Homo-oligomer: A and B are copies of this chain.
Amino acid sequence: MKLRQLGEDRLLRQLLPSLPIGKGVLVPAGDDCAVVAAPAGGDLLLLKTDCVVEKIHFGRETDPGLVGWKAMMRPLSDFAAMSGVPRFALITLIVPSRTTRIWVNKLYRGLTRAAGKFGVAIVGGETSSTVGPAAISVSISGSVERDRMVSRNGGKKGDDLFVTGRLGGSIRGKHLRFIPRIAESRWLTQHFSIHAMMDLSDGLGADLPRLARASNVGFEIQKTSLPRNPGATLEQALSDGEDYELLFAISPHQRERLERAWARKFRSLPLTRIGRLNRKSTIENRKLGSGYLHFK
């Protein structure tokens, strides 16, 4: 059955009962707004939106379950970047009316599975038809303790730079199946003072200069020390987008304790020191590849 025969009311009514109603949800999807519990006293509210678009982020033939997974995990990776706890998701679904119900159901299974992995409740959504390619936008709200929030702008010269996992070659499959580093990020801010952090979505070569610029410092990296995915070249580790790993800055005095504790806690995920922040130097910036830039 195609969506044009189903109608929006019936589509939503079919999808909604299968969505798990999370803790703190007072009025779930189906009313004009979703009504949820506010963050606990003193905590900050975190907000993020992101989208995936057919022919840009996924293909017509991509498994819709993986499309849903990716659409949900992308903004969750931004929560990891700030050490936030994601809670509630809103879905905007823009699809051609020829789209089949099976495709939409599989998409929602992917969205729900990804949300469930981090205890996120899907509390609302909106659907629209389009004459163009499909697009799925996901907005997440959540919270973070005031003293555990990490932004991009707290890096200091002399800080060590670390990345989680391995970089490059995400297009060969990881970009549809990655797991945002929320557990790792929450663990980091529980045990260490992280000066600045972000997630790598446009490639280290594009993202590291952003962190340095926000912190008003320069950087130097040992390119040969970059942790690379199997088969990824150095250039790909620098320039490929969609790594969804964490990049963070921390005092060098913490290095030994961090590396030891990390190895005990996250046995299968490498943590690599790739360089350090220094006084502002545009020379090093220019040497870095450009990463993936949208619209280019």
Contact = CB atoms under 8 A, between A and B. Distances in A.
Interface in A262-281: none
A120 interface: no
B47 A7 contact: no
B55 A130 contact: yes
Nearest to A199: B32
Given A35-B82, A38-B143, A49 B126 contact: yes
Contacts of A32: 48, 78-79, 81-82, 151-152, 198-199
Contacts of A127: 294-295
A32 B214 CA distance: 12
Given A33-B48, A130-B135, 6 more contacts: A26-B44, A31-B151, A34-B48, A47-B90, A49-B137, A97-B295
Interface in A45-75: 45-53, 55-57
B43 A8 contact: no
A4 interface: yes
Contacts of A296: 4, 7
A132 interface: yes
A198 B57 CA distance: 36
A171 to B, nearest CB: 17
Copy tally for this chain in the complex stands at 2
A33 B47 contact: yes
Contact of A131 (B48, B55, B199): B55
Contacts of A36: 44-47
A9 interface: yes
B33 A129 contact: no
B81 A33 contact: yes
Contacts of A4: 295-296
Q: Which of A57, A132, A198 has the most CB of B within 10 A?
A: A132
Contacts of A38: 38-39, 43-45, 143
A225 interface: no
A125 interface: yes
A233 to B, nearest CB: 24
Contact of A53 (B45, B56, B129): B129
A130 B53 contact: yes
B295 A82 contact: no
B82 A31 contact: yes
A8 B94 contact: no
A133 B135 contact: no
Contacts of A15: none
Interface in A123-151: 123-133, 135, 137, 139, 141, 143-144, 149, 151
